[in-house]
Amino acid sequence: MSWSLTYRTASEESDVLIILIALHWAADAWKIFLFSRQLSLASNTLDVPPVLRKRMSAQDYDVARRKSIQSSIATISSVAILLLVKTFKLYVGYHFFIWEFTADQAKTKYWRAVLYAGYDELFSMLIALPFSFFEALMYSQMPVVAMIIVSFLEIFLTTIFSAATIASLMMIIESCGPGLLLYFAPLSNAIALFVIAVYIQYFVPQIYFPWKMRDLSAILSKGSQPPWGTRFTKYSLILTLAPHLTRISWEYWEPR
């Protein structure tokens, strides 16, 4: 049986395709919503809160508030644009074309899957590079040259990591069948919805504010995050793996 996957295959699995697109929209829309609330709080809290007046000046507070606004705008813009890119890639069958691209480069399903994971991550990150670079320019203090070096280094390391991860997962797939990832990807994305809330509540303030201003960040974000977020902190790694597992899950679906 041929392992050649075409856009016709994607059309036959249109229901699954719609589910994957809906999951991307749900996850990213939730992230945009949370960052929008963060932006609204920072924009509307113009004066130093009473609890901080003895510990920081109005100037320090204003600097922290402006940094939060800039970073939130950059993140919202980046997520919105990348969401459209991901939707377009799924809709036109981009992943099937990448799978076809590996047809003449590997003789076994194992190595073809590994190559696919590497190429998919490489091309996906290159597509996202302009938007990621724009986001970095908005709030990073790094020199432009350093940003470029770090960006390409991240692409290289992520590509290698993705290929190595799929090499390990293929050992499981050989035993459990290729449909495993198709079931796992929606589950991991669902968990990622909660992890995003945890990330914004606990990690974003530490990234976007100086250490001495974490009390400020806590006040700005107070009441804006769901209280149940702490239950899912241990699943933070899934936030990194979920989008990639969603993309590759199509390619291990056994053709009819």
Q: SS3 string of 16-51?
A: HHHHHHHHHHHHHHHHHHHHHHHHHHHHHCCCCCHH
**pLDDT on residue 10:** 44
pLDDT of residue 206: 44
User: 3-class SS at 95?
Assistant: helix
Phi–psi pair at 25, nearest 5 degrees: -65, -40
Q: What is the reported pLDDT for 38?
A: 79
Conformational region of residue 93, where left means phi above 0, alpha means psi within -120 to 50, and beta covers everything else: left
Judge whether 147 and 101 are in contact, CB under 8 Å. Answer: no
Instruction: Give the mean pLDDT per block of 10 residues along the chain (256 residues).
Output: 39 61 77 82 77 75 79 80 78 76 77 81 80 69 77 83 77 63 57 60 46 42 37 37 48 43
**Inter-residue contact 179 to 253 (CB < 8 Å):** yes
How high is the pLDDT of residue 187?
A: 58
Instruction: Compute the chain's Rg from CA coordinates.
Output: 21
- What is the pLDDT, as a whole number, of residue 86? 77
Closest by CA position to 24, among listed 184, 243, 179:
243
Quote the pLDDT of residue 63: 80
Cα first-last separation, the chain: 9
Res 229: pLDDT: 33
Taking the C-alpha atoms of residue 186 and residue 200, their distance in angstroms, rounded to an integer, is 21
Q: How many CB atoms lie within 10 A of CB 171?
A: 10
CA dist 253 and 12 (Å) reads 12
